[in-house]
Structure 1
Amino acid sequence: MPLGRPVYHPAGHDEALRAVLQDLRAGRWVSTRNLLTETPDWGLWTQRTQILAAAVAGSDVVRAWRAEEPHSASAAVLYARVAVERALRAHRAGHRQTNDLWREAVSACGTASSMSPEDPVPWVCLLALARLDEGQRWDEHRVAPPEPMLFPGPWHLLGEADKRDPGNREAYHRMLQFVYGRRPDGPLTEAYNFVQWASAGAPAGSSLHLLPLYVRVERYRREGGGERALDLHWISEDSTRGALRALQLWFDYVPPAATSLLDLNHLAHALWGAHQFQDALRVFEAMDPFFTVVPWTYRTRSPGDADAAAEVFVQARARCSNASRAPG
C-alpha cells in the first residue's frame, strides 16, 4: 500500500494523548489528570508531560487545575513543565522577564520534586533550565564530569534523573543541549564525546543509541545544510555505522508506536543518507502517517518551513521505496 502525505502532530501515534491535547487546549483538564494517572512508566510519563506542557504553555489551564487540586502531584509536575517551557521561550526571545520566569520555574521544580520524590521529570526540568546559565555561574552546573574526556556541567542533575529512570531519553537530550550551549558556534568535540559515552553504556532498546545521529545533524546544520546531494557527511563509514547501530540496538528492540517520533525521523534520515534504503523504508513505514519537521528541514533552502521539510521527507521515502522494489 502506498504511503500518503505525512502529517505532523506532537502526539504522533499516542492516540490517548492526541485526544487529551484537544481537551486541554480547550481549557478542560480532567482528561489530562486521568491520562497521567494511567500512564504506565516514567519514559512515557516524561514524554507526555513534555508534549502537554508545550501545547498549553501560553494558557492558564494548568494553573487552574492546580488551584482546584492543590495536592495533586500530577498537577504540580505539569505546572513545573509549563513554567520551564515559558522560561526557555523567554530566553530564546531575549525577553526581559527571563530571569523572573527562570526563578519561578526553579521553584516549581522544587515543589514538584517534594510532592513526587520518585519522579524524574523535575530533575529533567532543572537540566533544561541549566542551559540558561550560559556562564555556568551556578555550582550545580559545573560539577566535575564522570570521565576525563567529558566537560564540567550539571552531572548531579543528570544523575538524579538517571537514578529515577535509567537512560531517560529527555534527560540525556537536555544534557546534549547544554553541551551545545557551551560552544554555540564552535566545534562539537564535547558533544561527540558525550553521546559516545552515553550510548556506549546503554542497553539494547535504549533510545540513547540515537544520540550520535542528533550530533551529526547538528554538525550538518552548523555547516550550512541546504539542498545538497547525499555527500560524504552522510555516506561516510562512520555515519553508516552509526545509523546501522541505532537500527540494530534500538529500532529492532522496541515497538515503534511507543517510541519518540523525533527519534524515528532521525533514524530514517540517517539510513536514507547512508544509502541503506531498505532499512530506511522499514522506519518510514513504522512512523506512517506522521513525520517531524526536524531533521528534514535542514535539507531545504528554508529551515523551519514545514511544507518544504515534508517535501524532502516524501522524496526520501520514495527513493527508499523505489530502491527496495528494484531487482537485486
Structure 2
Amino acid sequence: MALFGRSKSSPRLMPELDDGELGRLCKQLSPSTMRSMADFNVEAAERLLKDADTDWDRRWHRLSVLAESTADFNFDRSWQMRRSRSVDAMLFGAWVAAVRVSRGEPATELPEAVEACRHASELRPQDPLPFVALLGILRLMRRPSHELNEVWQGVVIRDPWNREAHLQVLAYLSPEECGLPGQAREFVDAQQTRMPADAPATALELTASVREFHRATSGNQLNGILADMWWDRPHAAAVLDRALTLWTRPGFLRHAAALADLNLLAYALTQAGRISEAGAVFEQLGTTVVGWPWLERGEPVEQFAAWRNRVLR
C-alpha cells in the first residue's frame, strides 16, 4: 500500500485515457510553467496535435482534454499570442471559452469563439473540428436548431461518425435543453441504423439510455425502486447486450475515447445488476476512471473502486 496518496495500481481519474503523450503534456502544463516554459509548452501542444494528423477523432480528444486541463490558467491566451494565425490556436481558444462557460463563467467570450471557429473552417476547409467546436458552442448559447443543423451537416460531410458531434446533438435535443419529448431518441435511432458498430460514436445509443435512466429514476423513493427494474425493459436490455457482446472483443474499440465508453458500459452493467458480466469490462479498464457517469452516484473514483472491488473479488 502507498504511504501517501494512491498507488499507481489504484483507480484514478485519467481524462487522457490511454494516450500517454497527452497525459505527459497535461502534467507538464501548469501555472508555474506559464512564463519560464511558455514557448516550449506551445511547441509541445502544437506537436501533439500535428502528430494526430488527420485522425480527427484522436485530434479532438487531445485538443479537448488539453482545454479542460488548462482552462483555469490562460494557456490558450499564451498560445494565441505566440501563434495568432494558427488554426489550432484558434480552435483551442474557442473550446477553452466553451469549457469555461460550461463551468459557470459568463458567456461573454462565446460570440468571439463562434467567429474563431468560422475563421478556422475557412483556413482549413477539410478539417471537421471547427464545426465540432462550433456545434458545442452554439449548443451552450441555446441557438435555434436550424443553426445547429447547418453546422452538423458540416461535420457529417467531413467526419460522419464524429463522437463529440453526436454527443453534443444528443445533449441539445434532450428535454433539459432544447429538445421535444422523444426527439433525442429519434436522433439516436436514425443514426444507429447506419452507424458502423466500431465507429467512434458507437456509444451514442448507450449514452442516451444512461441519460434516460437517470431522468427516469432520479428524485424520490419510488424512482429508486424503479431503478432496479429499468434495465430489465427489452429495449434497455438489448442496448446493454449489444455493447457487451461487441465492445469486450479484443481490439474491437480503437477510437481515442474507447476507455471512456467502457467506463460507461461498466457503470450501466452495475446499475442494471448484471454484476458478473461487468467483470470483463473492469478487466479491460484497469485503473482508468472518467468522471461521468460515475459522478451521478457520488465521487467517481470511489464509485468505480467500490464496484470494481465487488465485481472482481
Query: Please, what TM-score do these two structures have when normalized by structure 1?
Result: 0.78
Q: 1:311 aligns with which of 272, 297, 302?
A: 302
SS of aligned partner of 1:204: coil
More RCO (CA 8 Å, sep 6+): 2
Alignment partners' CA distance in 1, 2:181 and 2:10: 35
Deviations 1:150-190 (A, max 9, x none): xxx7222112112111200000011111112x544997522
Deviation at 1:311, TM superposition (A): 3.1
Q: Which residue of 2 aligns with 1:174?
A: 168
Q: 2:145 aligns with which of 128, 139, 142?
A: 142
Within the alignment, does 1:30 sit opposite 2:30 as a pair?
Answer: no
Query: Please, what TM-score do these two structures have when normalized by structure 2?
Result: 0.82
Q: Which residue of 2 aligns with 1:13?
A: 18
Question: CA contact under 8 A between 1:8 and 1:292: conserved in structure 2?
Answer: yes
CA 1:293 to 1:156, structure 2 compared with 1: closer, same or farther past 3 Å? same
**Which shows bigger deviation, 221-230 or 171-180?**
221-230
Alignment partners' CA distance in 2, 1:85 and 1:296: 20
Given residue 236 of structure 1, which amino acid in structure 2 is its aligned partner? R
**Where does structure 1 lack aligned partners over 5 or more consecutive residues?**
144-152, 301-305, 323-328
Alignment of 1:208-223 (within 5 A): 208-222=201-215, 223=217
CA 1:188 to 1:50, structure 2 compared with 1: closer, same or farther past 3 Å? farther
CA 1:45 to 1:312, structure 2 compared with 1: closer, same or farther past 3 Å? same
Identity value in percent: 29
Alignment partners' CA distance in 2, 1:297 and 1:64: 32
Given residue 272 of structure 2, which amino acid in structure 1 is its aligned partner? A
Deviation at 1:108, TM superposition (A): 1.3
Within the alignment, does 1:190 sit opposite 2:183 as a pair?
Answer: yes
Deviation at 1:280, TM superposition (A): 1.9
Q: Which residue of 2 aligns with 1:104?
A: 112
Question: CA contact under 8 A between 1:179 and 1:190: conserved in structure 2?
Answer: yes
Number of equivalences: 292
CA 1:299 to 1:236, structure 2 compared with 1: closer, same or farther past 3 Å? farther
Alignment of 1:228-239 (within 5 A): 228=224, 231-239=228-236
Deviations 1:127-157 (A, max 9, x none): 11222343x4xxxx333xxxxxxxxx72221
CA RMSD of aligned residues (A): 2.8
Deviation at 1:251, TM superposition (A): 4.7
